[in-house]
Amino acid sequence: MSWSAWDFASTSGFTASLPLAQSTIDLDVAGRPDERVVERALDDPMTQVMFVNGPRVAVWRSDGVQAPDALMCDADPAAPRPDASAPVGHLNMAFIAGPAVRTEALREGALAVYLGRDRTEDRVVRYIALDVTRLGEQTGPRYESDLLARIGASCDWVELRSFAPCASAREAGLAVSAVAVCSWHASQRFCPSCGAPTRPILGGWAQACTNPEDADRLLFPRIEPAVITAIVDDSDRILLQHNRAWRPRFHSVSAGFVEAGESLEHAVRREAVEEVGIALGDVAYLGSQPWPFPASIMLAFRARALDSHIAVDGDEVESARWFTRDELVRAVACGAIEPPGRASIARHMIESWLGRELA
């Protein structure tokens, strides 16, 4: 069977517009059990190696990118951030190959993840992500990496939420996978069952406990589902809320994590009641987007409010109000409210209701 980018592209109209849901890559799950899958890929001159640094990926430095200082965003990745600091223009992921990269990727303690492959016409291109935060860990603080110097001389580090809206679908997908998997390894170095160190297996997509008495326990990335809901009333107005933890004018739709043992639909209804005191009628699924900050997937719904009376909890949610389309456009235009960022599913839910892009 011959795969093309289209086979892995998004098919739903809503999901197709989400910057972090654009992966066109064949993850090649069947290739992961080969213990040398990373090494074999690195031996192939067609293979492309990209670089991850926390929630950031390396891009080629470009004169066409505005506000390069904003690319080095050290802000809390969980906090919404203004698009005003996001880059403008197309960003190209930096790929560097060669013996130096191979040496670093296969060094003891390195984390290199086999991201999958692109098969187009008669050639196959494999992709590897190398986590640079681990470079030098085994060789001490005085270790100086020629590779890091090379990246520093020609690349910028761009946070995933700034990168994805400015990248091709393939490179956005590679970046999301790489950040998600490497973030998991960064947060879990030891077996949660017995406390022994773990080691990456299956091309970096899983870990094995190194304690032989723990029966070769396999550990997979934990993904935390969150529901997010565009609530509209009988007048077709949308409900936007402002949470205490957000910047002063930032407004978005209702969202929250799914509790253990809870259905998605129950979580949607529970969050609406808890946060804004609204009971929901019909609830319909819209689409999903990974949100690896650090490990979420956002599951989007639209729902009809049974009545328009708002009662915010006053704790998490400070205020909430209904907007007609004209009211929302005016409020955003005059700066009275700041909408969610371009990479977020919340932004696309609001624009889907609005019928056009927000300015």
Q: Which residues bind Zn ion (CB under 5 A)?
A: 191, 193-194, 196, 209, 211, 214, 217
Three-state DSSP at 32 gives: coil
Nearer to Zn ion, 198 or 229 (CB): 198
Query: What is the DSSP-derived secondary structure letter of residue 2?
Result: -
- Cβ closest to Zn ion, residue 89 vs residue 197: 197
Residue by residue, DSSP assigns 261-298 as T--HHHHHHHHHHHHH---EEEEEEEEEEEETTTTEEE
Contacts of 125 (CB under 8 A, 6+ apart): 46, 47, 48, 117, 118, 119
Least distance to Zn ion from the beta carbon of 198, Å?
8
Q: Toward Zn ion, which CB reaches closer, 98 or 197? A: 197
* Minimum separation from the CB atom of position 217 to Zn ion (A): 5
Indicate the SS3 state at residue 83.
helix
Distance in Å, CB of 211 to Zn ion, minimum? 5
Question: Among residues 92 and 188, whose Cβ is nearest to Zn ion?
Answer: 188
Q: Quick one: 214 or 316, whose CB is closer to Zn ion?
A: 214
Nearest distance from C-beta of residue 231 to Zn ion, angstroms: 44
Q: How far is the CB of 224 from Zn ion (least distance, A)?
A: 22
Q: Are 229 and 256 spatial neighbours (Cβ–Cβ below 8 Å)? A: no
Indicate the pairing of strand 218-219 with strand 206-209. antiparallel
Nearest 5°: CA angle at 65, between 61 and 70? 90
